[in-house]
Amino acid sequence: MSKHRSGRSTSRPVGKAPVAGLPVNKNDEVMLDIIGMTHEGEGVGRVEGFTLFVQGALPGEKVRAKVLKTKKQYGYAKLLNLVEASSARIAAPCEIYDQCGGCQLQHMDYAAQLAWKRQLVVDNLERIGKLRVSGGGRDAGTDQAAGILVRPTLGMDEPWRYRNKAQVPIGVTEGGLVGGFYARGSHRIIDMETCLIQHEDNDDVVRKVKEIGRKRGITAYDEESGKGLLRHVVVKKAFRTGEMMLVLVTNGERIPHLDEWITEIRREIPAVTSICQNVNTKQTNVIFGDTTRTLWGNDVIYDYIGDVKFAISARSFYQVNPAQTEVLYGKTVEYAGLTGNETVIDAYCGIGTISLFLAQHAKQVYGVEIVREAIEDARANATLNGMDNVVFEVGASEDVIPNWKEQGITADIIVVDPPRKGCDPRLLETILAMKPERVVYVSCNPSTLARDLRVLEDGGYKTVEVTPVDMFPHTVHVEAVCSLIYKGFE
């Protein structure tokens, strides 16, 4: 949560405190000064030192709230009414924002979102990483010698309709098929006609699939019984080429009235160039099964990030915000400081998106990824772009990179883009043993970023600069790109 001075509530709670000695009970109504916001977007208030988290409350606000649940050291409260509103508060434009769990910050002005995301990164660097930040607090900072320079968050000029992929769970009501998002903290599906962070064409395809399904009597999958046909509708939109892919995730191979589905989709939305089926018969909340087949059209769609072309299949991982991906990768290339003579290792290369960006500016790039299908996609994408200075290998980076070192392959720069859990400790050990001149860390989780930077700093690296990038406006997620240099090269 953001660093602020702890405050007291402006009024005592109504009701008697429990035997355990807590200053509040469940169902008490309290007046709270909101002094910060958690990484999940909940407002933070305190009653006599006892912390309450309030969904929908913003820092600087005074609110009246009802206590929903208490634990030993903290509790949760529901916002009843605003006594004093923050200047950052706006009316959320989405009609189902209060029900849907997809966005958490639509009630917050976009400039304030960007400032909060920067502060989230700063707080984690200082609190978890015990790292000194230039300027400290909320200042952008200019003096690198004073600590790590954390730049202002790079946001979007138009932070709406940015998602190129819709992944919609399907359920059923008395009116037939519904599809949208899960309500906050549940598996109850909120039907959705439009999503303001989703590309309009994806909305159109989902709407049309639901209409056809209702008309044809298609059943929706039921998690509890394991019965019903349609589990998810997945739509992918290539922003640059305009191509679209529809994937029907089904609980079984046979789709009734399949020809009618295909005909209507093609007629209504001619941009759809690929219709696929993924079969998942397991009673699980995992979206995709192991079997995918093309029902009509092409096996892949094509899109570009910058000048690099990518083939996207039904199960390929591909960044969902292509505009900000270009910003993120551009900053990665900038921090790598490539002159064309370097050897680069991309330690979590996925389908090769960052690797191929780097290969345009480096002498040689080596990419490693534990998912075999991703490496197959990466190799195909390298061929698609005529790049012969990239080598991809399947395996865990902490196993593959030491083997490369034994073969005489050493890196001038190592780029890491790990999952939310951060880098494997053995990979960090490998980096410290190889001692590349620079490390560029691309993070999707500020807390594990801070933890890993502490390890690299203790091993001889200096974190020079961090730039947060807003890949997911109106959500609590923040990415960051970090530049580190080995102290022996300073």
Quick one: which of 420, 452, 451, 448 has its CA closest to 439?
452
**Cβ proximity of 391 and 379 under 8 Å:** no
Q: Which of 100, 195, 276, 444 is catalytic?
A: 444
- For tokens 């490693």, the residue is 368
> Quick one: 119-157+321-489 is in which CATH superfamily?
Vaccinia Virus protein VP39 (3.40.50.150)
Specify the domain boundaries for CATH 3.40.50.150 within the chain. 119-157+321-489
Per-residue model confidence as pLDDT tens digits over 284-340: 889 999 999 999 999 999 999 999 999 999 998 899 999 999 999 999 999 999 999
- C-alpha to C-alpha distance for 94 and 175, rounded to whole angstroms: 23
* Interatomic CA distance for residues 141 and 299, integer angstroms: 49
Instruction: Tell which CATH classification among 2.70.150.10, 2.40.50.140, 1.10.10.1110, 3.40.50.10310 matches the domain 1-89.
Output: 2.40.50.140
pLDDT of 358-381, one tens digit each?
999 999 999 999 999 999 999 999
171, burial (CB in 10 Å: exposed 0-12, middle 13-18, buried 19+): buried
The residues facing 52 across adjacent strands are 45, 75
DSSP string computed for 46-78: EETTEEEEEET--TT-EEEEEEEEE-SSEEEEE
Predicted structure pTM score: 0.90
Residue ranges of the chain that CATH labels 2.40.50.1070: 165-312
What gap in Å lies between CA 86 and CA 37, rounded to an integer? 13
Model pLDDT, residue 3: 36
Which regions of the chain are under pLDDT 50? Answer: 1-17, 19, 138-144
In the structure encoding, which two tokens stand for residue 84, read together?
A: 């004093």
pLDDT of residue 14: 46
Q: Is 276 a catalytic residue?
A: no
Give the pLDDT score at 174: 72
Is the CATH code 3.30.365.10 the one for domain 165-312?
no
HSE, CB side, 13 Å, CA atoms: give it for residue 397.
Answer: 27
Sheet holding 244-250, edge to edge: 189-191, 176-182, 165-173, 230-237, 244-250, 272-279, 291-297
Q: How many CB atoms lie within 10 A of CB 22?
A: 20
Distance CA 438, CA 416 (A): 11
Which pLDDT value is given to residue 223? 86
Q: Which two tokens stand for residue 431?
A: 């980096």
CATH 2.40.50.140 occupies which residues in the chain?
A: 1-89
Query: Would you state the pLDDT for residue 11?
Result: 43
* 3-state secondary structure (DSSP) of residue 488: helix
Contact 229, 255 (CB under 8 A): yes
Q: State whether the Cα torsion 285-290-291-296 is positive or negative.
A: positive
